[in-house]
Amino acid sequence: MESPVARLVRLTSLQPMKFQAQDIPEGKVLSICTCGLSQKFPICDGSHKAARASEQAGMLYVYNDARTQVVEVRPDPAGEGGPANPT
């Protein structure tokens, strides 16, 4: 199995964002961002597409505070049997 891509992003919110059924237009789908790069976080804005095209499995990508640019790339220590949360 191929190693996943990992990234470090700065998310500063300390509270949840609540959605109710009426927040979603009928017949539409609300996509929640799981990559951490959306500028409309936690709503997916499609930013994952650029990351998917440029990031490689087994690497850890560190993004700037705005989550718009990679500032560091290093091997993912958790991607090769290392600790998931290195200290």
Distance CA 87, CA 80 (A): 16
Using CB under 6 A as the binding criterion, the count of chain residues that bind ligand FES stands at 10
Which of 57/83 has CB closer to ligand FES?
Answer: 57
Which of 48/79 has CB closer to ligand FES?
Answer: 48
Residues 20-79 that bind ligand FES (CB under 6 A): 33-35, 37-38, 44-48
Tokens of 17: 């964002």
For residues 30 and 24, the answer to whether their CB atoms sit within 8 Å is yes
In Å, how far from its chain's centre is CA 3?
16
- Interface residues toward ligand FES, by CB under 6 A: 33-35, 37-38, 44-48
